[in-house]
Chain A
């Protein structure tokens, strides 16, 4: 691309409004995607929202259960707890990783990024399977620790909340790194050097200069990770072993096993509403296209 194109006199803006039929042609390009999206995506989802207030009886009966159904409340509390722990751990690990990547040389950055982006694209199932291999009773971690004599009984590492968190954090760290790294790359490293030159310790320079400047990226990453974890299905289903129930698995249970569509659709609607509300609140700092487009 000729970089100097921008220096040429700007094209007449009038070109936009002068030919309506031409514009219409461009609108036609949207038709296939728009039709597919409305008929095959939006419609089924709107239907879920509709089911939540119409089955088994019209009204807010299903939502009332949020206040009265102890099993459902337990699932919601478990989901929120696991998502919160996952978000905090992913941010912590992701932040350290982004910090080191942002301060590394360009060549080293590429290797670090490979280590982050490769896991991002490996199948969730494959990763869950690998964690089972490592963490189960006769798994490699327990065998190794037993062999070294560090423990005398296998530790319960999987088919509980611990296993779920290990698998979920593993999935979410790359998602946390991308927005944080994007924010950190905009920080001028000379600011840190200047702070050190003026007598600040490494810790002070980090706390007073780098941390505040990278805060928007940290918040964006936090919201993104939390939103994505809310709807997790496969990882908790495999690593939880059916004992720890999270929202998505509970929805599946209602619909496929108990055929209680209203309840399943209600919790699904709550998921969507929660996610859209969070996005609405944070849309100012969270540029979705950048978050999802970055680094892929």
Chain B
């Protein structure tokens, strides 16, 4: 909407200030990560990549990145399969009867993760899943389901249900209809959901603090320990790499969406 009524100076000043505030911490870590000093500071005499070199030469950091990557990939697979099927089921069954299921699927977005984390701590103790990759993967996978349900439901809202009825009418089985008619058309929604489920797992810390200790040390856990123990420019280098990674994933999501829009 733009109807020849531009915002006033006060509103514009506040808006610019807010955007500056939102972007400041994200951008400030870039020069800090390039500092030539050994402590957190802006570069004094020149730029240096020493902190990146230290990061990429460190066994502990690389292992944390690897573990996070595997967990995030596994969790994304769980979220995408369960979330996509569920969204399609809810969509086809209709609003009323599946409303409860949908509300259930959104719970992880509403209930604070600290509550879930302490519940898991006890629950996984019984299931013998504490401090294991499988446990963390399952926990992240389950809590990633809402992101997939939301994006796939949005994609399905633009899908004409009569295409599916026509396929079934012509004798296609449910599996064939899913495979050849529904899935190809909602693929952008699924990919989008997968990206957000991935970011969710990749960044998740609260659950990990409770259900993992020695065997499983994810990247956020390593950063957490770093912040609490020694604040050095290596942390800034990690932060920059994480920011770049997120920006890359968001750009990927944008590309998927704009292709879908065409």
**Interchain CB contact (< 8 A) of B123 among A44, A105, A136, A138:** A44
Tell whether B160 is near chain A: CB-to-CB under 8 Å: yes
Instruction: Report yes or no: B19 in contact with A271, Cβ–Cβ below 8 A.
Output: no
Q: What is the interface residue range for chain A against chain B?
A: 35 or more
Instruction: Report yes or no: A101 in contact with B15, Cβ–Cβ below 8 A.
Output: yes
The digit string for B101-134, where 1 denotes a CB below 8 A from any CB of A, is 1101111111111111011111100000000000
Tell whether A67 is near chain B: CB-to-CB under 8 Å: no
Q: Which of A21-29, A58-66, A68-76, A214-222 contacts B (4 or more CB under 8 A)?
A: A21-29
Instruction: Report yes or no: A116 in contact with B19, Cβ–Cβ below 8 A.
Output: yes
- Summed over the interface, the residue pairs from A and B with CB atoms below 8 Å come to a total of 297
Q: Which residues of B contact A180 (CB under 8 A)?
A: none
Instruction: Report yes or no: A129 in contact with B119, Cβ–Cβ below 8 A.
Output: no
Binding site for B on A (CB under 8 A): 1-2, 5, 8, 11, 15-16, 22-23, 25-30, 32-34, 36-37, 40-48, 51, 92-94, 96-97, 99-106, 112, 115-119, 121-134, 136, 138-140, 143, 170, 173-174, 185, 187-190, 192-193, 196, 202, 205-206, 227, 230-234, 238, 248, 251-252, 255-256, 261, 264-265, 268, 271-272, 275-276, 279, 288-289, 292-293, 296
Complex CA distance for A251 and B113, rounded to whole angstroms: 12
Interface of A (DSSP majority class) = helix
Complex CA distance for A205 and B118, rounded to whole angstroms: 50
Max chain A C-beta neighbours (<10 A), residue from B78, B118, B202, B242? B118
Q: For residues 206 through 259 of chain B, which have their beta carbon under 8 Å from a beta carbon of chain A?
A: 206, 209-210, 220, 223-224, 227, 231, 235-236, 239, 242-243, 246-247, 249-250
Complex CA distance for A200 and B234, rounded to whole angstroms: 56
Q: Which residues of A contact B202 (CB under 8 A)?
A: 123
Instruction: Report yes or no: B231 in contact with A132, Cβ–Cβ below 8 A.
Output: yes
Q: Which residues of B contact A192 (CB under 8 A)?
A: 3, 5
The digit string for B68-88, where 1 denotes a CB below 8 A from any CB of A, is 000000000010011101101
Nearest CB to that of A26 among chain B residues? B92
Tell whether B54 is near chain A: CB-to-CB under 8 Å: no
Nearest CB to that of A203 among chain B residues? B8
Instruction: Report yes or no: A130 in contact with B239, Cβ–Cβ below 8 A.
Output: yes
Q: Which residues of A contact B8 (CB under 8 A)?
A: 202, 206
Can you show 7 pairs from A to B with CB atoms below 8 A apart? A22-B168, A112-B19, A127-B25, A129-B236, A170-B25, A248-B114, A272-B112
Instruction: Report yes or no: B227 in contact with A130, Cβ–Cβ below 8 A.
Output: no
- Closest chain B CB from A1 CB (angstroms): 6
Complex CA distance for A294 and B112, rounded to whole angstroms: 20
- Closest chain A CB from B43 CB (angstroms): 12
- Closest chain A CB from B46 CB (angstroms): 18
Nearest CB to that of B82 among chain A residues? A33
Instruction: Report yes or no: A189 in contact with B106, Cβ–Cβ below 8 A.
Output: no
Binding site for A on B (CB under 8 A): 1-8, 10-12, 14-15, 17-19, 21-26, 28-29, 32, 40-42, 78, 81-83, 85-86, 88-90, 92-94, 98, 101-102, 104-116, 118-123, 138-139, 141-143, 145-147, 149-151, 153-154, 158-162, 165, 168, 174, 192, 196, 199, 202-203, 205-206, 209-210, 220, 223-224, 227, 231, 235-236, 239, 242-243, 246-247, 249-250
Complex CA distance for A163 and B94, rounded to whole angstroms: 47
Instruction: Report yes or no: A268 in contact with B115, Cβ–Cβ below 8 A.
Output: yes
Instruction: Report yes or no: B15 in contact with A40, Cβ–Cβ below 8 A.
Output: no
Instruction: Report yes or no: A119 in contact with B114, Cβ–Cβ below 8 A.
Output: no
Q: Which residues of B contact A112 (CB under 8 A)?
A: 15, 19
Q: Which residues of A contact B93 (CB under 8 A)?
A: 23, 26-27, 30
**Interchain CB contact (< 8 A) of B11 among A22, A96, A106, A275:** A96
Complex CA distance for A25 and B175, rounded to whole angstroms: 9
Nearest CB to that of A38 among chain B residues? B104
Instruction: Report yes or no: B22 in contact with A45, Cβ–Cβ below 8 A.
Output: no
Q: Which residues of B contact A125 (CB under 8 A)?
A: 203, 205, 220, 223-224, 227
- Closest chain A CB from B154 CB (angstroms): 6
Complex CA distance for A265 and B6, rounded to whole angstroms: 51
Instruction: Report yes or no: B85 in contact with A33, Cβ–Cβ below 8 A.
Output: yes
**Interchain CB contact (< 8 A) of B25 among A130, A248, A276:** A130
**Interchain CB contact (< 8 A) of B14 among A32, A96, A190:** A96
Nearest CB to that of A103 among chain B residues? B7
- Closest chain B CB from A264 CB (angstroms): 6
